[in-house]
Structure 1
Amino acid sequence: MKLFSRTAVVLMLICTFGYSSYGQEVKENNQSNFDEFMDRSGNRFRSASGEPGEKYWQNETDYEIKVTLDDETHNISGNVVLTYTNNSPQDLDFIWMHLEQNRFTPDSRGTLTTPISGNRYNGDVDGGYKISNLEAKVKRSTSSHYIVNDTRMQVFFEKPIRANGGTATISMDFEYNIPVKGMDRMGRLDVKDGTIYAMAQWYPRAAVYDDVDGWNIEPYLGAGEFYLDYGNYDYEITAPYDHIVVGSGELQNPRQVLSSTMRDRMERASKSDSTVFIVKPNEVNDLSIRAKKEGMLTWHFKMENTRDIAFASSKAFIWDAAKINLPGGNTAMAQSVYPEESAGNDAWGRSTEYTKASIEHYSNMWYEYPYPVAVNVAAAVGGMEYPGVSFCGWQAEGESLWGVTDHEFGHNWFPMIVGSNERRYAWMDEGFNTFINHYSTKNFNNGEYASSLDQTRRMVGWFTSSTREGINTYPDATNLKNLGMTAYYKPAIGLLLLREYILGHERFDNAFRSYIETWAYKHPQPADFFNHMENVAGENLSWFWKGWFYGTGNIDIALEDVQEEDGNYIIELSNKGDIPMPVELKLTFENGSTENLRLPVEIWQRGDTWSHLLETEKTLNKVELDPDKIIPDINFSNDVWPKNIYNN
């Protein structure tokens, strides 16, 4: 670097200090809005680029499960064997497991924290696990010591599971009564032709031990959902002979559980882009097409590299299917099961069409679907997702059925493929999913249904509400009236702003696809998402993460005035809100021509007002902020000049 001369230094000091002594005081800038708001520095486990570090690890959970479903007592019983691989750098003397059926007891924390008036997460109180014959083995040592506390179980070993690849097996027998009301996530539904069992959180599951918090052992209360490790599942469901059983993963024994008629139809469906019946509406009670006429049948499924499994069983199921076309040349199978009450071309008769369209869209736009089936189940559940299986309301139809089907299958990307901690960070699965639902809906059938994110300004009433909460509010502590916004819509709007307004399609899509691919089957934290998006998109977005995701402030960019000066124009802007944003202006001239003008977010780094000189030979008639109405600006009245021209 060239050295300054003594004369140059003196002149610089005179200019700096001499001017300030006679001029106005230096105005305080807004740099604090642009500074880092949380520790996002890298370490050996998680890099500052938002990628797993060189020492990143996560543990593996592989399950073998065999259960029997009794449709007379509404009971499930069986055995689970968990093979636990400890890839962490610490020896483990115990592991924690989730016993989420214990939520359905009178004295569970979830029951005792449910308001008297009730809420969506009401549940039965006559359930809960009965655990027996537990054995925890490490090498040649065996322990039967465990402690159950609410929805958690601590299993101890005689010898620790060694770090960096040591394994243990935990086996136990379990049973419980299947609830009718399963917190709108699972349960039973009685219909004309039988009972529909939607089975989720149905076996003892290992909790996550990670590099950020150690054991993640938050109790199962209600709004907070799940955080699980990945592994391979081999499971068998023994059910009455007249039941149809569908589940996560691939059916291993179709010749034992499906008649030749059903197998032929399944084969035809696997090659068909239109829906094919496996069990027709008039065949629900026709035992001639069933594989067996009495007793019990065992349905065997396998699923690899997944964080969970779910299944459904009923003798009331109509069953149909179609082929899913995947971009890599592979195919999968969309399936739907539903009772007669749900049938019809305006209702569940289109479920498989919806499922197929949803999976194909997300596979083409973001990341290829990895599972062999996608099964939609009509159940007494408003909408709930599990890997390869969704439970949706049996009375849903038309736009409502599309919306819930598309949303629940979108969850296969968040959090099933990208395994975030949804019990703590609901916005990393619900919000991201609501965002991708927007484009899926606009794409489906040439826009047959509308997306709620097309009209973000209709949500301004919530943004200005005194009872609003931040996106980062813990889900189980969030006011349920706010949960739809904090977990779903506000984070989705945040991503919409990034793609449509701040970064643009190409930069956003590159970063978001890279985030999905980088963290597929892994456990990203919020900082990992922020860091990865910034590094791939090439943009410091701290001002946006801080204002939108970790605050309750609002956007209010104002077009204060336009002054003509020497044949040009000075456009006066101000930031009256709490969150800075780039400024998009549409300029309309007297001759009818228009131009777009974009000012970067850094104009607000210097203060809350900005003047822009527009040099033009044309006469300016109108200036409009955010002409495409993408930003949920809380004050529309200051978005246009002249003031007497008001476009909402």
Structure 2
Amino acid sequence: MKRVLLTTVAFVSCHFVFAQSGSYNTNKFHQLQEILPTPNEYRNASGAPGHSYWQQKVDYVIKAELNDDNQSLSGSEIITYHNNSPDILTYVWLQLDQNNYAANSDAALTQTNGKVENMSFDAMERLTANSKSKLGYTIKSVKDASGKALSFTINKTMMRVDLPQPLKPGASFSFSVDWFNYINDSRKSGGRGGMEYFEDGNYIYEMAQWFPRLCVYDDVNGWQNKQFLGTGEFALEFGDYKVSLTVPADHIVMATGILQNPAQVLSKQQTDRLEQAKSSVKKPVIIVSQEEATNKEKSHSKDKKTWVFQGDNVRDFAWASSRKFIWDAMGVNVNGKTVMAMSAYPKEGNPLWEKYSTQAAAHTLEVYSRYTFDYPYPVAISVNGPVGGMEYPMICFNGPRPEKDGTYAAETKYGLISVVIHEVGHNFFPMIVNSDERQWSWMDEGLNTFLQYLSEQEWEQNYPSRRGEPKNIVSYMSSDKSTLEPIMSNSESIIQFGNNAYGKPATALNILRETIMGRELFDYSFKEYAKRWKFKHPQPADFFRTMEDASAVDLDWFWRGWFYGTDPVDIAIKNVNWYKVDSQNPDIEKTAQRKKRDDAPKTMSDQRNQTSIKQYRVERFPDLQDFYNKYDALEVTESDRKRYQSFAGNLNDKEKQLSSSSVNVYLIDFENVGGLVMPIIIQMQYEDGSKEVLRIPAEIWRRNNDKVSKLFVTEKPVKQFTIDPYQETADINPANNNYPELSVASQFQLFKQQQKAKQPNQMQLERNSASGAATQQNNK
């Protein structure tokens, strides 16, 4: 770093200028008023629901029968639609999500493909199955309460039902829909629900988006009837559900809501175990054992049982059914209220599922409730089946299983714990804080992934969280900009969906909590948002405004950069100038300068001249020497001392103290290379080895978004300056974060093939090793 002596002790204050390329509209600290919707009586300027906020309510009475012979579902539903809006409605829209699996669906027709030279058998099977698909709804009838047929129009994954007369504000309308559909094999056709076939001749059914459901009608979009293309999830209304599910008599059914007829579908022993599980808060109680489930796998009963469930104030209903299910449960104390955490899984899931699933569900309820609101529902269920991870009120579907020998890799273990936390966590976002997933995936996936990260970190020390830490999003934020979209993008148009909708918003919230706002302000504001919009329909502006309203922190620059932009974080130290106060005392200043001169390394020319030049001319001809040949400008003279005494005599005590100060002043030039403004977190490592970290708010960039300079005053000389020492801002280029520059080490691997190796199953390796050693010992 460059060192300069200050000739006076007076410092000139900095003068800020606007970035040359900037203006009021392009400055990164320009407020978001023209982007966010205008506050109104439904959604106010603080981010809270307005005094006239309203939302619709939809109640369902559903009867459905599962056909285990041809894997189909027949159903009938009575829908009661309550118009709480101030508008008169002449029709209602329903979602027909099963039509997404039809061969001629927009999802199938708009899917793009790459080269097929190395297509796998599984991929070919899926392609063939999709092209011959018989999936999708057969709508048998739509009738009013008197049994009169209603006019309806099916538009791909949407159905409009025309009302016989306009539905006025405050009025309700009931109608029925009867339907039939085959159940998709999710291993072949994908999807968020479906069936899985096992070699023992049995199935697991995970039934999701399985009935025609009302679209949301709200004050922002009117009808949210955007077509389902497979990625953007669901916008739904709250209501009460009574659902009767007829299945083979040897099946166990897990579902949204509370079982209404346990005596008719469960044995006395099973109901007793369930009651026992309520008070078991340390370890799950087995309700249906592996031995009992294995015995039922062989029965294939042709008899039927009907399970009846009631779910109140829920936005959806899902269920799972199989004779293969093992079932365990435990009670969870949520602020004095007992909630049942449960899991259902086949023997293929053990021992992994019996050990971790229900415990992970219980952990989620405890942690999420602390950061948001007390979990309001009576149960939370995790089910193992064909779906890798998907969420519904009170129930979710999760995929990881161990190897056939019962061993599992660490990746599988933590994958199960994480997916259970994530999917159970979705009960809070969006099942209760009911955002519009069809439009804004980040509002449920991003917020939920952030809380998943907090929950994972409370599971065990050094938990290997995939998302949440700023360093984990660097590769995405530094990738090709043609593959990036702002977080504020529609769900169906996102290229890197996982990074955009899950990873980046979760990281942004973690940075807000740890670096921008601090934990106390963030946690209070986040909880306020959750409480304000519990059982309501929030929009992005409601979240942005609430976080600012509850914290008194202006975050418009943050939302603009992280949520509306694609710029990365890359802050660089461009230059450092080092200043010392010139005391003008010759005994101090000249002595220091002389030492610096004498200690300075000799140049190569100087070193070689000492031996190559035998005699200088002034030595050969002494008459050429004069006063200056013997004069040393850094020798202290009497005239120097007199001048200093005259200078010091005119100083008061405070000026003398400042004049003799030994402080170090550093002027550092910073550059915002990446474009995303962030706080400057700078670590100073002093020459004595100690360190100090200073945190400068992002507002330092408010008048020049590209370049700023900042003075730092220290008592000790600084050896090294480092930006973002704890990797908390997602800075993509650590190479320019140090002054003087440091070499940043990278690693390379030697390999024989390009294929990435699967993470080893250490449990299996150790078991095989022990078994081999035992065999050798026995052979001896």
Q: TM-score, normalised by structure 2?
A: 0.75
Judged with a 3 Å threshold, the aligned counterparts in structure 2 of structure 1 residues 90 and 143 are, in CA distance, closer, same or farther, namely farther
Tell me, yes or no, if the aligned pair for 1:334 and 1:375 is still in contact at 8 Å: yes
Judged with a 3 Å threshold, the aligned counterparts in structure 2 of structure 1 residues 347 and 299 are, in CA distance, closer, same or farther, namely closer
Aligned to 1:361: 367
The one of 163, 168, 178 equivalent to 1:173 is 178
Aligned to 1:307: 315
Distance 2:19 2:713 in 1: 28
The one of 336, 353, 358 equivalent to 1:329 is 336
Aligned to 1:13: none
Judged with a 3 Å threshold, the aligned counterparts in structure 2 of structure 1 residues 376 and 26 are, in CA distance, closer, same or farther, namely closer
Q: Spell out the pairing of 1:605-624 with structure 2 (5 A cutoff).
A: 605-607=702-704, 608-624=706-722
Aligned to 1:435: 450
Aligned to 1:36: 31
**1:69-102 residue CA offsets vs partner (Å, 9 max, x unmatched):** 1111211112101110011111111100011111
Aligned to 1:233: 241
AA in 2 matched with 1:430 = E
Aligned to 2:758: none
Aligned to 1:559: 573
Tell me, yes or no, if the aligned pair for 2:678 and 2:729 is still in contact at 8 Å: no
AA in 1 matched with 2:380 = A
Distance 1:375 1:458 in 2: 30
Judged with a 3 Å threshold, the aligned counterparts in structure 2 of structure 1 residues 141 and 259 are, in CA distance, closer, same or farther, namely closer
Distance 2:212 2:56 in 1: 17
**1:548-585 residue CA offsets vs partner (Å, 9 max, x unmatched):** 11111111111223322123222222212211111112
Aligned to 1:457: 471
Q: Spell out the pairing of 1:334-345 with structure 2 (5 A cutoff).
A: 334-344=341-351
- Bigger-Rg structure (1/2): 2
Tell me, yes or no, if the aligned pair for 1:338 and 1:394 is still in contact at 8 Å: no
Judged with a 3 Å threshold, the aligned counterparts in structure 2 of structure 1 residues 301 and 281 are, in CA distance, closer, same or farther, namely same
Q: Spell out the pairing of 1:599-610 with structure 2 (5 A cutoff).
A: 599-607=696-704, 608-610=706-708
CA RMSD between the two structures: 2.6
The one of 475, 481, 495 equivalent to 2:509 is 495
Judged with a 3 Å threshold, the aligned counterparts in structure 2 of structure 1 residues 278 and 116 are, in CA distance, closer, same or farther, namely same
SS of 1:319's equivalent in the other structure is: strand
Tell me, yes or no, if the aligned pair for 2:466 and 2:472 is still in contact at 8 Å: no
SS of 2:567's equivalent in the other structure is: coil
Distance 1:193 1:639 in 2: 61
AA in 1 matched with 2:729 = I
SS of 1:417's equivalent in the other structure is: coil
SS of 1:226's equivalent in the other structure is: coil
AA in 1 matched with 2:56 = N
Out of 595-604 and 455-464, give the one that drifted further: 455-464
The one of 618, 631, 641 equivalent to 2:739 is 641
**1:388-422 residue CA offsets vs partner (Å, 9 max, x unmatched):** 11111153641111121111111111111111111
Out of 634-643 and 244-253, give the one that drifted further: 634-643
Tell me, yes or no, if the aligned pair for 2:429 and 2:448 is still in contact at 8 Å: yes
Aligned to 1:593: 690
Judged with a 3 Å threshold, the aligned counterparts in structure 2 of structure 1 residues 26 and 111 are, in CA distance, closer, same or farther, namely closer
Aligned to 2:190: 183
Aligned to 2:770: none
Tell me, yes or no, if the aligned pair for 1:193 and 1:315 is still in contact at 8 Å: no
AA in 2 matched with 1:561 = N
SS of 1:429's equivalent in the other structure is: helix
AA in 1 matched with 2:736 = N
Judged with a 3 Å threshold, the aligned counterparts in structure 2 of structure 1 residues 542 and 264 are, in CA distance, closer, same or farther, namely same
Aligned to 1:8: none
Distance 1:26 1:348 in 2: 60
Aligned to 1:263: 271
Aligned to 2:525: 511
Distance 1:353 1:193 in 2: 30
AA in 2 matched with 1:320 = D
Alpha-carbon offset, residue 587 of structure 1: 2.0
Aligned to 1:577: 674
Q: Spell out the pairing of 1:39-438 with structure 2 (5 A cutoff).
A: 39-116=36-113, 124=130, 125-137=133-145, 144-163=150-169, 165-181=170-186, 183-191=190-198, 192=200, 194-273=202-281, 274-286=283-295, 295-326=303-334, 328-344=335-351, 346-395=352-401, 397-438=412-453
SS of 1:453's equivalent in the other structure is: coil
Distance 2:456 2:467 in 1: 10
Tell me, yes or no, if the aligned pair for 2:470 and 2:511 is still in contact at 8 Å: no
AA in 1 matched with 2:510 = L
Alpha-carbon offset, residue 193 of structure 1: 6.1
Alpha-carbon offset, residue 490 of structure 1: 0.9
**1:246-290 residue CA offsets vs partner (Å, 9 max, x unmatched):** 1011111111111011011111111112011111111114469x9
Distance 2:745 2:506 in 1: 25
Alpha-carbon offset, residue 361 of structure 1: 1.5
Alpha-carbon offset, residue 40 of structure 1: 3.9
Alpha-carbon offset, residue 29 of structure 1: 5.3
Alpha-carbon offset, residue 141 of structure 1: 10
Out of 580-589 and 215-224, give the one that drifted further: 580-589
AA in 2 matched with 1:485 = N
**1:475-521 residue CA offsets vs partner (Å, 9 max, x unmatched):** 21222xx1111111111111111111111101111111000110111
Aligned to 1:4: none
Alpha-carbon offset, residue 448 of structure 1: 6.5
Alpha-carbon offset, residue 349 of structure 1: 3.7
Distance 1:256 1:448 in 2: 47
Aligned to 2:488: 472
Out of 360-369 and 317-326, give the one that drifted further: 360-369
% same residue? 40
Distance 2:22 2:341 in 1: 56
Aligned to 1:3: none
Judged with a 3 Å threshold, the aligned counterparts in structure 2 of structure 1 residues 548 and 30 are, in CA distance, closer, same or farther, namely farther
Out of 258-267 and 105-114, give the one that drifted further: 105-114
Distance 1:631 1:84 in 2: 47
Alpha-carbon offset, residue 41 of structure 1: 2.9
Judged with a 3 Å threshold, the aligned counterparts in structure 2 of structure 1 residues 343 and 622 are, in CA distance, closer, same or farther, namely same
SS of 1:46's equivalent in the other structure is: coil
Matched, 1:549 2:557: no
Out of 418-427 and 567-576, give the one that drifted further: 567-576
Q: TM-score, normalised by structure 1?
A: 0.90
Tell me, yes or no, if the aligned pair for 1:30 and 1:604 is still in contact at 8 Å: no
Judged with a 3 Å threshold, the aligned counterparts in structure 2 of structure 1 residues 293 and 132 are, in CA distance, closer, same or farther, namely closer
Distance 1:285 1:616 in 2: 72
Tell me, yes or no, if the aligned pair for 2:29 and 2:556 is still in contact at 8 Å: yes
**1:589-611 residue CA offsets vs partner (Å, 9 max, x unmatched):** 23333322122222111212222
> What runs of 5+ residues in structure 1 fail to find an aligned partner?
1-19
AA in 1 matched with 2:368 = Y
Distance 1:424 1:309 in 2: 21
SS of 1:409's equivalent in the other structure is: helix
Aligned to 1:524: 538
Out of 304-313 and 346-355, give the one that drifted further: 346-355
SS of 1:413's equivalent in the other structure is: coil
Distance 1:115 1:611 in 2: 49
AA in 1 matched with 2:435 = S
Aligned to 2:623: none
Tell me, yes or no, if the aligned pair for 2:296 and 2:323 is still in contact at 8 Å: no
Distance 2:472 2:543 in 1: 28
AA in 2 matched with 1:46 = R
